[in-house]
Structure 1
Amino acid sequence: MSFSDFAAPLWFAFALVVLALTVGYLLVQWHRTRQTLRFANMELLETVAPKRPGPARHIPVALGLIGLLALTVGLAGPMADKRVPRNRATVILVIDVSLSMQATDVTPSRLAAAQKAAKGFVDDLTPGINLGLVTFAGTASLMVSPTTNHDQVTTAIDHLRLAERTATGEGIFTALQAIETFGNLLGGGTEPPPARMVLESDGKQTVPANQDDPRGGYTAARLAKSKNVPVSTISFGTTWGKVEIPRQQGDGVDEVPVPVDDAALQQIANLSGGNFFTAASLADLRSAYSTLSDQIGYETVRGDASRPWMILAAVLIAAAYTASLVLRQRIP
């Protein structure tokens, strides 16, 4: 800790007053002892005052001086980093609802696990955050516009429905549009509120096939970066996941592999400035969401940390007066 960690370091000069009081007290005690020994009849003194003052008589003064030192630190205005809940921040939860989410490589299914973990994420977010929900398959839909009423998002998560194909880029574009619209409606500042996106997907983008297409995931991630909206991605599922697709002609079903696409989702996070997570189970998914909730829901700010020192000073000075009354029957 240095002087730069204090708002008013000049108050440390008050410590010189505390030092002067300490020296003065020691000199008074020394002078008093010397005078007593010089003029007292020792035989008579032992008779009338067999019990001499013990070290306990110094406790009130010691407590008072330490209290003044604590007060000095408090007056100097110590500063410290504090984690405080974010306000006005906008978060869009973007969830993949393509047919691959019905795979059962994650118990009981990818979709059911995703719903449970996402609702836990919603519950953990601080109340002041404006939360929205976007779902995407072949197209993307804004299910819930950003709102502090998080119950709306929870209800929407309970009613997710699967559809064909996967358009990851459309999900990001739709979320960015929702963030921009909400920022314009919110107003109240020279800059839009800070925004972040959490995208959970389990498979490879199929619409369009090229991630660098104008509507592809990488293009959307670059746009998010330019708008200062990090996209944190969660790759959810395993490499051996499969789904059963009814045959278009004839009876029966075909087993179609639906492995996760870690590389693409990690690239989206890298391009946008977000974080990348992998989750092969409900526990993994909850852990990823928990980390994101902590990152998104709170911010670290530099703030005043003098209160504990002022409380300590008050307690010590009060203790000094109490000890003086108990030990010496008078206030120093």
Structure 2
Amino acid sequence: MNLTGFATPWWFLLLVVVAAVVVGYVVAQRSRRKRTMRFTNLELLERVAPRSQGWQRHLPAALLLVSLILLTFALAGPTAEQKVPRNRATVMLTIDVSLSMEATDVAPTRLEAAQEAARSFAEGLTPGVNLGLVSFAGTATVLVAPTTEREGVLRAIDNLKLAQSTATGEGIFAALQSIEGFSAVVGGAEGPPPARVVLMTDGKQTVPTGDPYDPRGAYTAAQAAKQQGVPVSAISFGTSHGTVVIEGKEIPVEVDDESMREIARLSGGEFYKAATAEELKKVYASLGEQIGYETKDTDASKPWLALGTLLLLGAAGSSLFLGQRLP
């Protein structure tokens, strides 16, 4: 058992009492032996005294002492790290629906593979997580505000439609605005729940053109996320050989890993690379595990209490069996 500490360690003072019991038992055994040796008529002693049971006669006392030690540990409130479902968190799933998502380098298309993985992600999140959905191409749209109801999110994922351009910064800003509005409503005395943006895109920003540090650019949005304490988990999805046909022309749509890696870094989040549908599912599964669960120090006293109680019962039973009395 991987213990991390004790909630009420002062209960360990009872071990002094247990030590005193051990000393008392040893003293009592020696006194009993001295009284027995005063019996000079050994022939008569063998007839009136019960035969020695050897080490077995100490078994009830040993079980009793061990049970007292275990029960003392239980009273001290041992704690252990355990993964527990989060009961409050906000996640904005932000998906690129630009025309490059029609590329078939990921079968059947990037968009369909992304929809399937996003559905699995939404269905697998723990019930306490509020999930919202943003889609972005040339502009960004909050399709579903954060909610614990998954049906609306799943329907919106199924109905994602392609559009021109890639405004990655607008997608992040829309997600942050939705998180801010939701946190203002549900914050309460504990403050706003922890939040995260899960950004999935396959290409570099095209709106606004040029510098990603533009006021509405992707890097500026990532810095804003950092200031709000909302990390961006950036997923770069696709391959270097993807193409789409627009107005009869075949256009390469290579993924932009470096931009996504920088967005993750600037926001304090993580970067993920997925070149296949299966890899994308694994990324989403990993994120679901990270987001849906947290590690907490929880009460671990039950095993100690159960074992201590069983040994206590064993001490009573062995004492009745061996000596026809309770210890």
TM-score by structure 2 length? 0.92
Q: Hey, what does 2:294 align to over in structure 1?
A: 299
Deviations 1:208-230 (A, max 9, x none): 12211111100111111111111
Q: Hey, what does 2:322 align to over in structure 1?
A: 327
Q: Hey, what does 2:277 align to over in structure 1?
A: 282
Provide the secondary structure at the position in 2 that maps to 1:25.
Answer: helix
Provide the secondary structure at the position in 2 that maps to 1:127.
Answer: coil
Deviation for aligned residue 1:16: 1.1
In terms of mean alpha carbon deviation, does 228-237 or 99-108 score higher? 99-108
Q: Hey, what does 1:111 align to over in structure 2?
A: 111
Are 1:233 and 2:228 matched, yes or no?
A: no
In terms of mean alpha carbon deviation, does 307-316 or 133-142 score higher? 307-316
Deviations 1:70-110 (A, max 9, x none): 12222223333332221221110001111111111112221
Deviation for aligned residue 1:185: 2.5
Are 1:260 and 2:255 matched, yes or no?
A: yes
Q: Separation in 1 of the partners of 2:186 and 2:49? A: 80
Deviation for aligned residue 1:207: 0.8
Q: Separation in 2 of the partners of 1:81 and 1:66? A: 26
Q: Separation in 1 of the partners of 2:55 and 2:282? A: 57
Are 1:76 and 2:76 matched, yes or no?
A: yes
Are 1:130 and 2:125 matched, yes or no?
A: no
1:1-332 correspondence runs (5 A)? 5-39=5-39, 41-46=41-46, 51-189=51-189, 191-209=191-209, 210-245=211-246, 247=247, 253-332=248-327
Q: Separation in 2 of the partners of 1:279 and 1:4? A: 36
Q: Separation in 2 of the partners of 1:282 and 1:45? A: 87
In terms of mean alpha carbon deviation, does 67-76 or 46-55 score higher? 46-55
Distance change >3 Å, CA 124–CA 9, structure 1 → 2: same
In terms of mean alpha carbon deviation, does 72-81 or 204-213 score higher? 72-81
Deviation for aligned residue 1:237: 0.8
Q: Separation in 2 of the partners of 1:277 and 1:182? A: 27
**Structure 2 stretches lacking a partner, 5+ long:** none
In terms of mean alpha carbon deviation, does 307-316 or 267-276 score higher? 307-316
**Structure 1 stretches lacking a partner, 5+ long:** 248-252
Deviation for aligned residue 1:51: 4.3
- Contact between 2:64 and 2:311, CA under 8 Å: does it hold in 1? yes
Aligned pairs, how many?
Answer: 325
Question: Residue type matched to 1:236 in 2?
Answer: F
- Contact between 2:90 and 2:196, CA under 8 Å: does it hold in 1? yes
Provide the secondary structure at the position in 1 that maps to 2:241.
Answer: coil
Question: Residue type matched to 1:120 in 2?
Answer: S
Deviation for aligned residue 1:176: 0.9
Question: Residue type matched to 1:11 in 2?
Answer: W
Q: Hey, what does 1:250 align to over in structure 2?
A: none
TM-score by structure 1 length? 0.91
Q: Separation in 2 of the partners of 1:31 and 1:87? A: 61
Provide the secondary structure at the position in 2 that maps to 1:277.
Answer: strand
Provide the secondary structure at the position in 2 that maps to 1:5.
Answer: strand
- Which 4+ stretches in 1 moved above 4 angstroms? 44-51
In terms of mean alpha carbon deviation, does 102-111 or 127-136 score higher? 102-111
Deviation for aligned residue 1:307: 3.1
- Contact between 2:4 and 2:297, CA under 8 Å: does it hold in 1? no
Identity, % of aligned pairs?
A: 57
Deviation for aligned residue 1:44: 4.3
Deviation for aligned residue 1:316: 1.9
Deviations 1:152-172 (A, max 9, x none): 212221221111111101111
Q: Separation in 2 of the partners of 1:30 and 1:170? A: 85
Distance change >3 Å, CA 131–CA 40, structure 1 → 2: farther
Q: Separation in 2 of the partners of 1:222 and 1:229? A: 10
Deviation for aligned residue 1:5: 2.8
Provide the secondary structure at the position in 1 that maps to 2:272.
Answer: strand
Question: Residue type matched to 1:143 in 2?
Answer: L
- Contact between 2:64 and 2:315, CA under 8 Å: does it hold in 1? yes
Q: Separation in 2 of the partners of 1:187 and 1:267? A: 30
Q: What is the alpha-carbon root mean square deviation over aligned residues?
A: 2.2
